[in-house]
Structure 1
Amino acid sequence: MKKESFVLRGGIAFSESQNSIITYYRGYLVCVDGICKGAFTELPEEYKGLPLYDYGERLIIPGMTDLHVHAPQYSFRGIGMDAELLEWLSTYTFPEEAKYSNMDYARHAYAFFTADLRRCFTTRAVVFGTLHNEATIELMNQLEETGLITYVGKVNMDRNGGAGLEEESAETSLEHTRKWLEAIEDKYVNTKPILTPRFIPSCSDELMKGLGKLSAEKDLRIQSHLSENHSEIAWVKELVPESTCYANAYEMFDTMGTPERPTIMAHCVHSDEREMEILKKHGAYIAHCADSNMNLTSGIAPIRKFLDYGINIGLATDVAAGSSMNMVKTMLITLQASKMYYRLVDQNVKPLTFEEVFYLATAGGGSYFGKVGTFKPGYDFDALVIDDSKMFSMRDMSIRERIERMCYNDADAFIKDKFVKGKKVFTAID
C-alpha cells in the first residue's frame, strides 16, 4: 500500500445525504491509497495493520470545495464594498487585474493567495485568473505546489474591460487561450484548466461562440457569471437582444455546458423559472456566493428553490467581493441570507438547515470534482482535522452541536491537519 493509507481517530462528521449528518464519537476513519474506506465505531480487523493517528477529541470533517474565487482579487478583499457590481468592477477589479501583466507583481500577489488557500478549510477550488497567460500559468504553478486540487481559468475579455484589461479581438483572445492550453498540457497532476469568459458584457458574440466550440473540441469545462445584478441583466439584454433571458444567451453560444461537462455559473441571484430550467437541463452548477451578493447589494439568491428544483449547487467565497476565503464563514452567511430571504422576501421559501449548508460546503460542491466531499466508502479522502478545544462551554456537546457551533463562531477553532486524496498538505504548528 502507498503512504496514503492510514486510520484517523476522532470526532467524525460527514453528510449521509442533503438532510442528514452522520457522526461518530471517537470513531475510526480509514484511508487506503487516498480513497476513503468508511467510518466505523470499531476498527475492522482488515485495517488494524495500518498506521493509526489518534486525534483525541478533535473533530474530523470532509474538506470543503470553493466553487468560485478570483485569485487576482485577493489583495483588495474587503475594500470598496459601498459600490454595486458594475461600478465595483470598473473602479477596483479591472484596474487591479491589469497589474498582472507585471510578472513580479503577479508572482508576489499569487503567493499570498495560495498560502491562504492552503491553510484554510478549502481542499478543492475553482479559480479565476486574469487574461494574462504568463500570470495564469504562474498561478497554476503555485496552486500545484499546495497539493490542493483545482480548476484554473485564463479569463477571456475582448470588450468593456477598460485600459489594460481588454484583448484586442475575439481572434486574439481565442489564440491566446489556445497558447495557454498548449503551454500547460500534461504539466500538472492536481491543477486543471477551465475556460473562463468573464461574463457576456466582457465577451463579444464571436468570442463566446469561439469558446463554445473550443469547449466541445477540447472537452473543457466553462465557468462564468449569471444574473448577479439587475443592471448587469439589463446590459446583457441590450447586448444579446434575441435571447429570452441571460442563461439563454449562454445557451445560444453553446457555453452552458452539458451534464458530462458541467458549467459553473456564479451567483444566479435573480434567476427565474426560465433560467432554473436551463441550468437543470444542462447539468450546470450554481456557485452560491452569499457574502458577495450582500456586500455588493446584489440580493439574496433563492437557494431553497434551486435545491428543490434539483439543480447542482455548491458554496463559494467569491473573493474579493466576498470578504474572506473562510468557507466556514461562507456557510454562516449562507444560513443567515437564507433566513432573511424567508423573513423578508418569501415566507413560502423555508430557510436552509444547517445540515443542508454543511452538505453544500462539502459533498454538494465536491461533486463537481467527482466522488468528493463525504466519508462514504469509495470517495476521495479529503479531510480536515479541527481543534475546537478553545471554544469553552459548560455543556456536554454532541459532535453535530460542535460543528454547528464552529460554523456560527469559528474564531477559536483552527485546522490541525488537512488531507487531500490522503496526502497531508497542511499541518498547524502547535
Structure 2
Amino acid sequence: MIRQLRQALCLLFLVRFLAGDFSVYNAIMKGTLVHCLSLHKDDFQLWNDAIVGVSEKGTISFVGNGCDVKTLSEVYGFSVDQVTNLGRKFLIPGLIDTHLHAPQYAFTGTGTDLPLLEWLNRYTFPIESKYADLQIAEHAYTKAVKRVLSLGTTTGCYYATIHLPATKLLVQIINQLGQRAYVGKVNMDRNSPETYVESTENSLKDTEEFIQYCLASGEEGKRLVTPIITPRFVPSCTTELMTGLGRLAAQYNVPIQSHISENCDEVKWVKDLHPECESYTDVYEKHNLLNEKSVMAHGVYLKDEELQKFADAGAGISHCPTSNFQLASGVFNVRNALDKGVKVGLGTDVAGGYSSSMWESIRQAMNASNTFRFGREFNSVGYREAFALATVGGAEVLGLGERVGNFWPGKEFDALIVDPFVEGGPFDVFEWENEEQIFEKMVMMGDDRNIESVFVGGKLVAGTSKV
C-alpha cells in the first residue's frame, strides 16, 4: 500500500512537470534558509541544514532543523520521501518590489539625461500614451512581468497607464504568469499632455470599473492581483479627482499608491498648487489618501513632521534609491524614517531606475544610506537590513505581512532557490568562505544567473524545476 502511494505521488509529480505545472505542494525543502523575522538587524537568520514543509495549499506548514525531518514529517503528515535536498543552495523569501511602472519597462536604461519633471514630459508620457494600443501593451507588459519574475520578484506593486483596457490586460498577464501583484489604473486629469490626459469623470468611472473587475476575479486572500488606487501624483490630479479617489478607496477598502516629495521642483510645484496645505503630505491627508493602506514612493524631502504623520497613519514609503540617483532627485534617509516608526520597503521604479532587479535596489539602498556617513557618525543600512527591506519590509508596506515576506509557518511559500555555485555565475566562491559570506556575495553581486527557481504560493513561476 505504501509503495503504491509513493508511486502515485511520483506519477502526480511527473504529470505536473510535463504539463508545466510544477510545484512544491506537499513537499519538504532542505537546505540553507535565509530570511528576516522583522526589520530589526538582529532578526536576520541564516539557518544551515534547515527544512521547510510546504502544504498542499502552497503554505508553510513548518520550519525546523534537518535532523528533525522524520519527527516533523510524522507530526505534519509528510513523507520523508518527499524531501528535496538543495545542498548548499539558498532558500530565501521572494523579493517584493513596492514601486514599478509596467509601461516604462520598454525604455528602461535610456533617457537618463534629465531630471524628473522634464523626464516625464520628454520620455515617459509619450511612451505611456502608446498603451492605448493593446498589441503594444500585450507585448511590453508580457516582457516586463517575465523579466521581474526571472529576477526573483514574486510580488510587484505596479502602475499601469490611464487606459482601462490595457490595465485589465496587465492583470490578465500577471495572472497567467502567476505573480502576486497590486495593479493600479493611473489617474491624470490636469497638467498632462493633450495626448495623455483624461477627464475627471472618466478617470473616476474607469477606476471604479477596474476595481470591480479585479475584485470579481477571486476571493479575498486567494486572488493574485489586488487593485490599488493610483493618482499619479498631486500635480496631475485635481482636488475633485483626489477627493473621488479617496472615496473609492474607502468604499471598496482597497489600497492607495502615489508619489511624494521625489524632487525639489515637484515639491515647490505642489506648494504652489495647494497653498492651503501645510505640506505635500497634508495634501494627501486632506483628500483621504493617507492611511494604513497607502504606499507613497520616494519621500526624499519629507520633513520630520511629515514622517510622523506617516507613522501615525500607518502609511508606508517605497524607497527607490536607484531612481533617486539616476534622475538626480536626492537621497532618502531611510534610517531616519525607520527610527520614526515608518513602514519602508524597496522599489525599482523602472524606468526612473535603470534596472528591474530588486538586487540592484538592495545595493543602492545601502549606497544611499552610506552617503549620510560622509563626514559624520551615522548608523547606515547594511546588507542584512537592506535584504530585510526587500522582503519583510515590502510585505509590511503592502499589507501582506501575515501572508509573505519570510518563512514563518502559515505564510504562503513565495520563495527563491538561489545557487551561488552556478557555472558562469557573476561571482566566485572560495573554500574558506562560510555560508553568510557567500550570501553576502549574492546580495552584493548576484543576479538572475543565480536564481534557479521562483515560487509563488508553492507554484513554480520562473526558472527551472531542477528541484
Inter-CA distance 393–118: structure 2 relative to 1 (3 Å threshold):
closer
Structure 1 contact 335–357 (Cα < 8 Å) conserved: yes
Offset, 1:412: 7.9
Query: Of 414, 430, 434, which aligns to 1:398?
Result: 434
**C-alpha offsets along residues 390-421 of structure 1, whole Å, 9 cap, x if unaligned?**
43233422222112111211158521111112
- The letter of the residue matching 2:288 is D
Distance 1:306 1:15, change over 3 A: same
**Higher alpha-carbon deviation: 128-137 or 47-56:** 47-56
1:101-112 mapped onto 2 (5 Å cutoff): 101-112=132-143
Cα 1:39–1:399, aligned 2, differ >3 Å: closer, same or farther?
farther
Provide the C-alpha distance between the structure 1 equivalents of 2:448 and 2:269, rounded to a whole number of angstroms.
Answer: 44
Q: Where does residue 378 of structure 1 map in the other structure?
A: 410
Q: Does structure 1 residue 130 correspond to structure 2 residue 161?
A: yes
Name whichever of 387-396 and 13-22 sits farther off: 387-396
What percentage of aligned pairs have identical amino acids?
35
Q: CA deviation at 1:92?
A: 0.4
Greater alpha carbon shift after TM alignment, 14-23 vs 148-157: 14-23
What TM-score, normalized by structure 2, do the two folds share?
0.87
Q: Tell which structure's C-alpha radius of gyration is larger.
A: 2
**Residue in 1 aligned with 2:92?**
61
- Within the candidate set 20, 37, 41, 1:19 is matched to 41
Deviations 1:278-322 (Å, cap 9, x if unpaired)?
Answer: 111111111000000000001110000011111101011001011
For 2:64 and 2:364, locate their aligned partners in 1 and report how far apart those are by CA, in whole Å. Answer: 30
1:49 aligns with 2:74: no
Show CA shifts across 1:333-388 (max 9, x none): 111111112216xx354211222111111111122223211112222211100111
The answer to whether 1:113 aligns with 2:144 is yes
Contact 2:310/2:342 (<8 A) preserved: yes
Report the count of equivalent residues: 424
Aligned-partner Cα distance in 1 for 2:70–2:195? 60
The 3 A distance-change label for structure 1 pair 370 and 119 is same
Poorly superposed stretches of 4+, deviation over 6 Å: none
Q: CA deviation at 1:152?
A: 0.1
Alignment CA distance shift 1:146-1:65 (3 Å): same
Shift of residue 250, structure 1, vs aligned partner: 0.4
Spell out, residue by residue over 1:258-295, the C-alpha distance to the aligned partner (whole angstroms, 9 max, x if none).
Answer: x3xx1000000111111101111111111000000000
Contact 1:417 1:428 in 2 (8 A): yes
Aligned with residue 190 of structure 2, among 159, 172, 176: 159
Corresponding position of 2:388:
359
C-alpha spacing 1:327/1:104, structure 2 compared with 1 (3 Å): same
Aligned mates of 1:77, 1:379 — CA distance in 2:
33
Counterpart in the other structure of 1:205: 239
The TM-score, its normalising length taken from structure 1, stands at 0.95
Q: Work out the CA distance in 2 between the residues paired with 1:279 and 1:348.
A: 26
Shift of 1:15: 1.0
Q: CA deviation at 1:89?
A: 0.4
Q: Following the alignment from structure 1 to structure 2, what is the Cα–Cα distance between the partners of residues 377 and 146?
A: 25
1:5 to 11, 23, 26: 26
Task: Answer whether contact 1:24 1:399 (CA < 8 A) is retained.
Answer: no
RMSD (Å) for aligned C-alpha atoms: 1.8
Q: What is residue 53 of structure 2 aligned with on the other side?
A: 30
Q: Which residue of 1 aligns with 2:288?
A: 254
Rate the CA distance shift 1:208–1:348 in 2: closer, same or farther, 3 A: farther
2:420 corresponds in structure 1 to: 388
Contact 1:233–1:246 (Cα < 8 Å) also in 2: yes
1:172: Cα distance to partner? Answer: 2.0
Q: Does the CA contact (< 8 Å) of 1:24 and 1:41 recur in 2?
A: no
Q: CA deviation at 1:84?
A: 0.4
Letter in 2 for 1:358: F
Measured in 2, the distance between the counterparts of 1:318 and 1:294 equals: 11
Aligned to 2:259, the other structure's residue is in SS state strand
Instruction: Deviation per CA, 1:172-196: give whole Å up to 9, x if none.
Output: 2111212223334412521111010
Aligned to 1:283: 314
Q: Distance in 2 between matches of 1:291 and 1:14?
A: 23
Contact 1:13–1:400 (CA<8 Å) still a contact in 2?
Answer: no
Partner of 1:187: 217
Q: Is the partner of 2:374 in helix, strand or coil?
A: helix
Kindly indicate whether the alpha-carbon contact (under 8 Å) linking 1:305 and 1:349 is maintained by their aligned counterparts in 2.
no
Is the CA contact 1:5–1:422 (under 8 Å) kept in the aligned structure 2?
no
The change in CA–CA distance for 1:218 and 1:429 in structure 2 (over 3 A counts) is closer
Pick closer, same or farther for the CA change 1:3–1:130 going to 2, 3 Å: same
